[in-house]
Amino acid sequence: MTPLLPALQSPTGPAASREAVRFGDLSLTYGRLAEASTALAARIADAGRVAVWATPTPETVIAVVAALRAGVPAVPLNPRTGERELAHILADSEPTAVLAGPDDELPPALEKPRRVTVDARASERASEGTDEGTDGYAPGEGAPEAPALIVYTSGTTGPPKGAVLPRRAIAASLDALEDAWGWTGDDVLVHALPLFHVHGLILGVLGPLRRGGSVRHLGKFSPGGVARELGSGGTMLFGVPTMYHRLAETLDAPTGSGERDTLAEALSGARLLVSGSAALPVHDHERIAAATGRRVIERYGMTETLMNTGIRADGAPRPGTVGPPLAGVELRLVEDDGTVLEGPEAIGEIQVRGPNLFTGYLNRPDATAAAHTADGWFRTGDVGTVDEDGYVRIVGRMATDLIKSGGYKIGAGEIENALLAHPGVREAAVTGEADPDLGERVVAWVVTTSPGSPPTTEELANHVAAQLAPHKRPRTVHYLDALPRNDLGKIMKRSLHVQ
């Protein structure tokens, strides 16, 4: 198998001076990224597994690239992960080292693994001749099936599971996107996605690096930042629907207002605007098309499967659909009883098979087996249809206990457990409610232990943010005298709505 990141093997000449990544005023060329990642790979080559404190910085890129080049599996961590979730991820993945930037303050839970400091500015100095040297170390990537990344993802119940992604899946998925989008080394990708999930890290960083192209990360999403980078050389934009919704809101300002016009012009000039991680409402598609003359295209993926389908750059953009299966991906619709469905009228669970799939959940053979059929198809849990020309439309989700908020997948069960650990909460149920900005918003329904002075919404939100992660915090809390239950005592979530 060719290396995952061929452009970083030993870049020389013009290839070495081409920009690989840029975060604000700090940019790394292929030459510098190759050097810095080789030096770091030498330091971690004997680590069994490493955690990466995945801030949106060049340090994260160096760390992940070094781990990939050394053949050491990396676990990207959300730097905002709360205590309970972080403890679970560390106990489950057992990293021997944590790679972090020089100024990162790590929580006490990360005191045990060896800290390896990654300094992008030091690598700048290294390229000027002060490198400590790598003593002839030449990184050797692992085998195609060897774990490359372990990405934690939520399920309906219990704590997040680590999806083990082999090198083969990353290469296959990125190459299928190259085919669908004509993605080349000339492309300059712009995005502001977090670097601890598949979208931002694999598509948004490893995608450009595999092609020998470049990525400019905004650090934090803003319509102004998107306009600036697309207006000065960016060719592609990746984002979640919440980001495109915020762009559409900016574009709704009257023509002639500076920010609106600059953004409209920048978006019009881009080669490709891509949305994923959740459904982009047709209303937002239309607002962007009306203001820019450009169609956003959607692709459909999952942490476990990487990318499954996508509208092709040379295909018909069709709002509300996620395009046909990508090269190498088999996709079918299946009835509850396992019957495979055919034809444009069929609605069923989307199941996929192909080289893009993960190898399983870390330490969870039970969950891995449950997620697959006997003949190796992965059950996505998404419900869809397939048009006559092969375009897939996602119409829903089998589990009501999975919430997609801002493009993040959140399990109702993990939030309920965190809420129940609060002394003011006797019973809790969590649901997702439609939200124009976030797609869905987390809503908690609580029976309190102290009706006279119940914990406030803010207190419960802070509690969940501190235990799990800020994006999992409930945005609304309803206080009830009792939760609606059926005869078996099971909470009837469908009865939970505001009177």
Residue 15 main-chain phi, psi, to 5 deg: -60, -35
Residue 463's identity, in one-letter code, is: H
Q: Which of 54, 192, 279, 329 binds ligand AMP (CB under 6 A)?
A: 279
Q: Is 301 in the site for ligand AMP (CB under 6 A)?
A: yes
- Subset of 316-335 contacting ligand AMP (CB under 6 A): 322
| Count of positions on this chain that bind ligand MCA (CB under 6 A) | 25
Residue 250 to residue 327: CA distance in whole angstroms: 36
Q: Is 189 in the site for ligand MCA (CB under 6 A)?
A: no
Q: Is residue 390 packed enough to be buried (19+ CB in 10 Å), middle (13-18) or exposed (0-12)?
A: exposed
**Least distance in angstroms from the C-beta of 9 to ligand MCA:** 27
Q: Which of 303, 309, 380, 385 binds ligand MCA (CB under 6 A)?
A: 303
Q: Name residue, tokens 């694999």.
A: 202
Identify which of residues 292 and 303 has a Cβ nearer to ligand MCA in the complex.
303
CA dihedral 421, 426, 430, 433 (to 10 degrees): -130
Q: Is 351 in the site for ligand AMP (CB under 6 A)?
A: no
**CB 404 within 8 Å of CB 410:** yes
Neighbours of 185 (CB within 10 A): 13
Q: Is 382 in the site for ligand AMP (CB under 6 A)?
A: yes
**Beta-bridge mates of residue 307:** 301
Identify which of residues 49 and 404 has a Cβ nearer to ligand AMP in the complex.
404
Partner whose binding site includes residue 194, from ligand AMP, ligand MCA, none (CB under 5 to 8 Å by kind): ligand MCA
Residue 4 to residue 437: CA distance in whole angstroms: 36
Quote the tokens at residue 482. 């009792």
- Subset of 174-233 contacting ligand AMP (CB under 6 A): 198
Partner whose binding site includes residue 322, from ligand AMP, ligand MCA, none (CB under 5 to 8 Å by kind): ligand AMP
Identify which of residues 18 and 397 has a Cβ nearer to ligand AMP in the complex.
397
User: What counts of helices (H) and strands (E) characterise the chain?
Assistant: 14, 25
Residue 138 to residue 450: CA distance in whole angstroms: 62
Q: Are strands 425-435 and 408-411 parallel, antiparallel or unpaired?
A: unpaired
Residue 361 to residue 319: CA distance in whole angstroms: 33
Q: Which stretch binds ligand MCA (CB under 6 A): 47-55, 238-246, 311-319, 336-344?
A: 238-246
Q: Which stretch binds ligand AMP (CB under 6 A): 82-90, 165-173, 297-305, 312-320?
A: 297-305
Strand ranges (DSSP E) for 398-487? Answer: 402-405, 408-411, 425-435, 439-448, 476-479
Q: Which of 74, 99, 193, 236 binds ligand MCA (CB under 6 A)?
A: 193
**Least distance in angstroms from the C-beta of 70 to ligand MCA:** 24
Q: Is 385 in the site for ligand AMP (CB under 6 A)?
A: no
Q: Is 461 in the site for ligand MCA (CB under 6 A)?
A: yes
Residue of this chain nearest to ligand MCA (CB atom)? 406
Partner whose binding site includes residue 382, from ligand MCA, ligand AMP, none (CB under 5 to 8 Å by kind): ligand AMP
